[in-house]
Chains A and B, each alone.
Chain A
Amino acid sequence: MTNQGRIAENIVHFARVLRRAGLKAGPQQVLDAIAAVEAAGFNSREDFYWTLHATLVKRHEDEVIFEQAFHVFWRDPQLLDRMMALMLPEIRTPDNEDREKANRRISDALFANEPNKREPDEPELEIDASETFSASEVLRKKDFEQMTAAELAEAKAAIARLRLPLDEARTRRTAPSARGRIVDMRATLRASLRAGGIIPLKKRDYRHRRPPLVVLCDISGSMSAYSRIFLHFLHALTNDRDRVHVFLFGTRLTNVTRELKHRDVDDALARVTAAVGDWDGGTRIGETLHRFNVDWGRRVLGQGAVVLLVTDGLDRDAGEGVEPEVARLHRQAKRLIWLNPLLRYDRFEPKAQGIRALLPHVDEFRPVHNIASLASLIEALSAPAATKPERRAA
C-alpha cells in the first residue's frame, strides 16, 4: 500500500514536470493516470510508458516532450532525487553537467524553482545580452513600446469596422427565422397544440457565420516598418473573432495563434516576439509556404477558410519555388487575398520574381500605399475588391 502511495506521489510530481514543460496535465489527468496505472498494473517499462501516455498526453505535438520527460524522470534516479529535493523547501543547486544532458525544455521545467532562473516575464533578457546591436533589437524595443489607452480604443473601433471579403458564409446549421426557407416541424407542432385551429407555420433559415481566417504575415526586414501595426491588427483580430489562425514568416514559419490569444496586447506581443526567431531577416516565400502547405494546410484550411497573405513579395530566393506553393495554397483556400504594403515604392511594378509568381494565383490583390495607422490598414481590407489581378498570358 505504501508502495502504491509512492507511485501516486511520483505521478503527481511527474505531471507537475509535464505542466511546466507546457503540457496541459491537470488534476483530472493525474487522477486518471493513477487509476490507469492501477488498472494496467506493472508489467513492463513499456506498458508503464504507454499507460501514462494514454492519460497525460492530449496532443500529438506533446508526444516528444512527454517522451523526453519520461526518460529523464523515470530513469535517472539522481535527477529524480534532485527533482524531489526541489519539492522540499531547501534548494540545492544542480551541477551543470547533468543539466546539459536533459533536453533544455525539460530541464527548464525540472529546475524552474532555481533561484537564478530567469523570469518567464522577460524571456528576451539572455538573448538581448548575448547579441550585439542588431536590427532585431531595434524592432523588439519598438514593439515593446506599450499601446496607449487612446491607441487601444482606436484599435477596438477600427476592428469593429473591418469587413473582410466573404465575411458571411452560409453554414448548414439553421436558426428560427420569421421569413425562413425551411419549415420548423417541431416548433410548428408545439404551436399547433397551444393554439389549435389554423396551424401557423414556423420557419427556420440557414445561419451565417464568419469563415475561418488564416493570416500569413511577412515579418522580414523589408516589412519591419509596419510590424507594430500588423501585430496590433492581428492581436485585435484574434481576440475579436473565433477561428483565426496567425502565422508569421521570414525565413521560417511560426504559428503564433496561441501567443496572440492573450488578451493583454503588450503581453501577447511580448510572447510573440519571444516565439519568433527570424525578425527582420530575409524572406523565403517558397520555402515557408511549402511548410505551411505541408504542416498546416489541411489542419486550418477546412470549412471554407479565407487566407490573408501579407507580404511585399520580395523574396530572398528570387521567387524560387513560390509558384507551385502559392498555386496549391490557392486551390486549398476558399479565397486568397494578398495585401501588399507598397513600402518605399511610389510606383508599384511587378518586377521582382516573387511578386510575379504570386500575382496570377491570388483572388484579390490589395495594394496599400501608406499604412500610417491601424485604421488605414482596416480601410484597405474593407474596401470593395476593385483590383482583380491582371492575368498575364503565360
Chain B
Amino acid sequence: MTIPASIDETVELLARGAYVADRSLATVIFLALKMGRPLLLEGEAGVGKTEIAKVLASALGRRLIRLQCYEGLDTASAVYEWNYQAQMIEIRLAEAEGKQDRDTLGKDVFSERFLIRRPILQALEPDVAGPPVLLIDELDRTDEPFEAYLLEVLSDFQVTVPEIGTIKAKEPPIVIITSNRTREIHDALKRRCLYHWVDYPDAERELNILRLKAPGADQRLSREVVAFVQSLRKLDLYKNPGVAETIDWAQALTQLDALALNQQVVNDTLGALLKYQDDIARVQGSEAARILAEIRAGAQAAQ
C-alpha cells in the first residue's frame, strides 16, 4: 500500500490498525512518511510507542523489521556478520582441491554469499511490498557508539561492509525509533529525525483505546477504570500507569467478572496497574477509597 496523502488519511490509516492517535501524532507520522525521515518517539514506558511501528507495518502491508536495542549491541548483531563456519569449510575445500591463489580465495570467502544479514541490512534490501518498516526499539538501552553508527545509516540509508563495499537502499525504509529516555539521545541523531513525545492519553482517548483493546469490559467499568487511572497519574507516583497497564487492568477486572470498581477489588488487583511497591503501598487503602469516592461524585454530577 502507498503512504497516506494527508493528515486525515493518516488518522484513518491508524484507526484501521486499531490505533487511536491524536492529531499531533498523526501529523508527525504523516510528515515522517512523506518526507522520508526517521521518526523518534520518546515517552514513558507503556504509552504505545512500539505499537505505532507495528500498526504502521500492518496497515501499510509492509514488512516489520525489529531491532531490539540492548547494552553492547554491535554491528555483528545489528547490521551484518560473516558466516564463519561456511567460510572455513569453503577454505578447507579450496585447499583440498589444491587451489593456492589466496587473493581469489579471499574474494570468494568474503562475498555476499557468506554474509548474514541482521535487521539493519535487511531493512535496506528491496521488498516486493515496498520499503519495510524498521523499528529500532528502546534506543536508550544501547550505548553512544552504536548511536553514532546509526548516523550514517539514518542519513544516507547505506551501510559500509569493508570487504564488499557500500550497500545502499534503493528506497529508504520507514524508520521508527523509540526511547524510554533512561538517558538522553544525542543531539546529532535527534537532528536527523522528526521528534515526538508520546504522552499519556486524555480520558476520552483512553476510553476509546479501551473499547478497542478490551472489548469484553463492561461500559461502566471501562469508564471507572479510565477515571481511576487518570486520577492516579495526577498523584506524583514513581511510575505512572501507562496505557498498557490500563488495558491489562481492565482485562483483569473483566476476568474477575467485575462490573464496577469497589475498594476490595481495587486493592486486590492494583498489581496489574502499579509496578512499584512504594506506589502500591501509597495508593492501597485510603487513597484508593478517596479516588473512588471522587469518581462516584463525578459520575453523579455528570448525570
Contacts and interface: CB of A to CB of B under 8 A. Distances in A.
**Size class of the contact patch on chain A:** 35 or more
B143 A173 contact: yes
Given A53-B24, A299-B183, A173 B74 contact: yes
Interface stretch (B12-20, B28-36, B293-301): B28-36
Contact of A328 (B34, B70, B84, B278): B278
B195 A54 contact: yes
B244 interface: no
B234 interface: no
Nearest to B95: A196
Given A26-B191, A196-B102, A51 B35 contact: no
A298 B138 CA distance: 14
B28 A54 contact: yes
Contacts of A53: 24, 27-28
A58 interface: yes
Contacts of A47: 7, 23, 27
B140 interface: yes
Contacts of A174: 74
Interface in A27-70: 28-29, 32, 35-36, 39-41, 43, 46-47, 50-51, 53-55, 57-60, 63
A113 interface: no
Contact of B35 (A36, A298, A328): A36
A189 to B, nearest CB: 6
A379 B238 CA distance: 36
Interface string A67-111: 000000000000000000000000000000000000000000000
A35 B187 contact: no
Contacts of B70: 172
Interface string B56-98: 0000000000000011101000000010100110010000000
B84 A54 contact: no
Contacts of B31: 36, 39-40, 51, 54-55
Given A29-B191, A185-B82, A193-B102, A54 B27 contact: yes
Contact of B105 (A40, A193, A299, A328): A193
A171 B23 contact: no
A293 B109 CA distance: 53
Interface of B: 6-7, 23-24, 27-28, 30-32, 34-35, 37, 42, 70-72, 74, 82, 84, 87-88, 91, 102, 105-106, 109, 140-141, 143-145, 180-184, 187, 190-191, 194-197, 236, 238, 278
13 contacts: A24-B187, A24-B191, A60-B197, A172-B70, A173-B72, A185-B84, A189-B82, A193-B91, A193-B106, A298-B182, A299-B181, A299-B182, A299-B183
